[in-house]
Every structure is written in C-alpha cells, then in structure tokens.
Amino acid sequence: MHPVTIDVGAATGRYAVLIGDGLASRLGRILEEHNIGGHRFIVSNPVVWRFHGELLARALPDATLVQVPDGERHKHLATVARIYEALVRGEADRDATVVAAGGGVIGDMAGFAAATYLRGVRLVHLPTTLLAQVDASIGGKVGVNLAAGKNLVGAFYPPRLVVTDPGLLRTLPRREFRAGLYEVIKYGVACDAALFSQLQRELAAVTDQRADALVAVIAQCCRIKAAIVSSDEREAGPRRVLNFGHTAGHALETLTGYRRFRHGEAVGWGMLVASELAASRGMFSAQDRDAVRSLIMQLGPLPQVADVPVSQMIQVMRRDKKVAGGRLHFVLPSGIGSASVVGDVTSRELRGALERVGFRAG
C-alpha cells in the first residue's frame, strides 16, 4: 500500500502528513528525502521505547534519545525542563531536529520544547497512538498543563513533517486504542456526516485494526483537520469546532488529576454533555443525540462520572482557555456533520446537561 500524503498549510510554510504501514522503519530515509538533517533528538517515554525502541534505533542510529515520564499528569513545565537540559547536554544547535515519538502528551511537550529552545528548532512528529495520529500531531498546537487547567501554557508551532505509521498501533492496549476512536467520532459529529455513517457501518473493522478500514479512517480525519488548520491555523474561527467535546472533557481531566480518564475518554463524556446541551436548546435532534450516544457507548464502558460534582465541573469550565470576555464559548452540534460555537451557555443549562448525562448533582 502506497503512503497517503496530505498537505497542511501553515504560516511558516506547508508540511506533509505521510500515512502508511511500515513508515517508521524508514524514518531516517524519509527525513533525508525531506531535507530534515542536523543532530536528531528522539523525545519519547519508557512505554513507547519498550515497544518501538529497537525499530527507531535502527531507523535513526545517530539520534540522541531523551526519555521523559509517561502520562498526562507529567505534562508540565518541569518535564519540559528535562528536555531542555538534554538538548543542552547534546549540544543541540539551531539545525537540530526534535522527533516526538509517542502519543499526544509527548507531542505536546516535545513540540513545546522545540518551539522554545533557541527560539525554535525543527520538529517532526511520529505519533504512536490513534489519538495522536488522527488529531494531536496535526495543526501545530503544543503546550503543557498548569494546576489550574489543561494546556494553559502553549504555542502554535507547526512541525516540518508528520510520519504516521498505523502499524505502530498494534502494540497499543485496547483501552488506549478505543480512547483514540472517541476523537474519530468527534470528527464525524462536528465535521463529516459521511465519516460518522462509515463508523456506524464499519466500527468492528476499525476496532479490529483491519488495515484498509483503519488507514481510510485515519486519512479522512487528517484531511478534515488539514483543511481546517490550513484556513485557520491559530483558531480564530472554523478551527474552534474541533474543540467539540473538549470543554467538559478538559474539566473532567483536571478534576480527576489526569489519572482516571484517557484524554479520548474524557472527550467522549464531553461530547455527551455538548450533545445534551444542544438537544435541550432544540438545535440538535433527539434522534441525532441518541445516535451519538449509541456510537460512543458501542466502544465500551467509559470510566464513571457519578462521583464528580456538577458544581466543580462548572467552576473548572469557567477557567477554561476558551473563556473570552468572561463568556464560556461552547462547541455544540447542530446536526450530524456540523457544529457551531456559542457564547451564551448559562450555568443553569450546564448544570442540567451534566446531571442528565450522569454527573453528581451538587
């Protein structure tokens, strides 16, 4: 199967997303073909390296490995400082290349380090989770969390290249793979009714990682995001719809210390909240709301939220970076395949939607 190539526009120039089985083993040659040289630093974590380290060491034999802890709770400035220190020890200069080999957390931290070290060195993404392959590796968002909330410190810093190898997903725990599928559902609900229908028909083939079905879904998500990012790199307009499910999802992650939920699982709950809000406003039919819920629930049980207080969810959402002028901007679906940003969601509406979805009253 020939690799799929998708171009993404950015203020600093266009970059390519390459999608194909086996690309990771050819990473060194691919970087040379794209004139991405210099001293290479692979930023990864012990979990990813245990599964893919031998392959990546063969592909990039002269690279310096920088390992940081695994997990969203480590996505903070102190961990990025460890990356800086490794770059200094490795005598990284402006021609250096940071290769982010991991999921969205690694991509965010390695990308933020690349964006800020020496005011910017080259960045390449090698996403190893489904969530990172369909979403986090594209678009140039990089950053870290603060105690007050998720991704409150960050930058827009496009990579030079994204190399997506679906074969790397075969080592993922089933729960981690499912977590990425919630982001795929996000694209279907917010942007592409045909993708949503495809998931309804072919969910078993995708979850079983049948190559043709999986590559098709990954490529379509990347095309959607590439088109949106190319027209709105800095999230001033259309790109904001890609935050569907993320407002409540980020609050849920923050409240539970990034320990109970995978990011995609939190987004799954966030999509349920947003769909309920939209249905209560009459902008999303009950039939569509139920179709979204059904598809989400077919992936398997989500970690429960019955002990998460509604009042705390609302408080954290009010600190979200999507608050502007004191108003919380919420992405709500207006039909399968379309969504819009509204800025007049009240606390009373939020409370009702959260309680109906299953959060604890109070």
Q: Is 289 a catalytic residue?
A: no
Q: Which helix (H) or strand (E) holds 151?
A: strand 149-156
CB neighbour list of residue 32: distance below 8 Å, 6 or more residues apart: none
Cα–Cα dist 118/358, whole Å: 47
Cα–Cα dist 127/108, whole Å: 11
φ and ψ at residue 96, rounded to 5 degrees: -70, 155
- Active-site residue identified among 72, 183, 253, 276: 183
Tracing tokens 């977590």 back to the chain, one arrives at 179
Q: Is 235 a catalytic residue?
A: yes
Q: Is 246 a catalytic residue?
A: yes
Take residue 135 and report the two structure tokens written for it: 């979403």
Q: Is 150 a catalytic residue?
A: no
User: Which stretches within 25-103 are classed as H helix?
Assistant: 27-33, 46-59, 77-89
Q: Is 329 a catalytic residue?
A: no
- Active-site residue identified among 39, 202, 235, 355: 235
Report yes or no: 167 and 160 within 8 Å, Cβ to Cβ: no
Q: Is 250 a catalytic residue?
A: yes
Angle between helices 347-357 and 310-317 (to 10 degrees): 130
Q: Is 39 a catalytic residue?
A: no
Distance of CA 298 to the CA centre of its chain: 21
Q: Is 243 a catalytic residue?
A: yes
Cα–Cα dist 159/164, whole Å: 13
- Active-site residue identified among 2, 119, 174, 259: 119
Q: Is 322 a catalytic residue?
A: no
- Active-site residue identified among 243, 262, 265, 322: 243
CA-CA-CA-CA torsion sign (286, 252, 220, 202): negative
CA dihedral 332, 346, 353, 330 (to 10 degrees): 20
- Active-site residue identified among 122, 150, 250, 322: 250
- Active-site residue identified among 225, 289, 322, 329: 225
Strand partners, 331: 341
Report yes or no: 153 and 144 within 8 Å, Cβ to Cβ: yes
- Active-site residue identified among 52, 125, 262, 263: 263
Total residue count of the chain as it appears in this document: 362
Q: Is 74 a catalytic residue?
A: no
CB neighbour list of residue 85: distance below 8 Å, 6 or more residues apart: none
- Active-site residue identified among 40, 246, 289, 322: 246
Q: Which residues are catalytic?
A: 119, 141, 183, 225, 235, 239, 243, 246, 250, 263
